[in-house]
Amino acid sequence: MLRQFAAAVALTFALDAPAASPAAASESAPIVVELFTSQGCNSCPPAELLLAEFARRPDVLPLSFHVDYWDYLGWKDPYATRANTERQRAYARILPSRYTVYTPQIVVDGSAHEVGSKRSEVEALIAKARDARLAGPEIAVAGGKVRIGAAANEKPASVWVAYFRRAVSNEVPRGENAGRRLTTTNVVRELRLLGVWEGAAVELSLGSAGPAGCDGAAILVQRNGPGPILAARAFNPPR
């Protein structure tokens, strides 16, 4: 059952050369795949399995955002946050859709979305995003600092750090997935705004450590809106 809900970032710092040529997706410039999901939705486990497959690819950075609007169905998702729901709603105001938000939904590079369990359609969006992606700014992380290099930039972009747990698993005793043990990949526990990038090189502080238990992190450079993701890089957060 498809659920709909109608409601409203070489640790080198030599990064100062502008760039505007096409950039192939790679481990240093992956395509970001965001899955909006809920343990209270019985359509979501197949999308979670697909996201786990993407996590084995060097050209894709998958992130799982658990939303809270299905918690009333009998199971309160332990990874769901209102901030995740609001991020999805912000996409719904920008991306074409018949619905405001739904699960499972995959958003590719902040530019297009599809039902999260539709493998061929999602793969097509990833390929399209790879072909469309221009060379964005280089990203380096070291010593608690993030350096975003210079590159062509038409509009201001936000620099985010996403802290995530690479794999979590738990039993679901109630709700639509009652009796199942569900596993989530790269489940985001905090998405923190670090600052603004306007085309010139900038250095930002990561600030305080991420949430306890997070063994993965990523920097996202994304046009405001939220809009297209211009660059991304995963890194290991300080222990």
SS (H, E, C) 3-28: EEECCCCCCCCCCCCCCCCECCCECC
Taking 70 as the threshold, does the pLDDT of residue 165 lie above it? yes
Backbone angles phi, psi at 114, to 5 degrees: -160, 160
**Is-contact 139 218, C-beta < 8 A?**
no
For residue 166, give the CATH number of its domain: 3.40.30.10
CA distance linking residue 205 with residue 98, whole number of Å: 39
The per-residue pLDDT for range 206-218, each reduced to its tens digit, is 999 999 999 999 9
Q: In this predicted structure, what is the pLDDT of residue 193?
A: 97
**Is-contact 147 201, C-beta < 8 A?**
yes
Taking 60 as the threshold, does the pLDDT of residue 118 lie above it? yes
Q: In which domain, by residue range, is 75 found?
A: 3-18+26-235
Q: In this predicted structure, what is the pLDDT of residue 2?
A: 52
Taking 50 as the threshold, does the pLDDT of residue 13 lie above it? no
Q: Nearest to residue 221, comparing CAs of 49, 80, 72, 28?
A: 28
The per-residue pLDDT for range 15-58, each reduced to its tens digit, is 333 344 444 556 668 999 999 999 999 999 999 999 999 999 99
Over range 67-80, report the average pLDDT: 96
> Which helix (H) or strand (E) element contains residue 145?
strand 145-148
DSSP string, 192-214: EEEEEE-SS-EEEE--S---TT-
Tally of structural domains, the chain: 1
SS3 35: strand
Over range 113-117, report the average pLDDT: 97
Which residue, chain included where needed, has tokens 């238990």? 213
Q: Nearest to residue 19, comparing CAs of 27, 28, 10, 6?
A: 28
**Is-contact 163 64, C-beta < 8 A?**
no
CA distances from 156 to 89, 152, 195 (A): 21, 11, 10
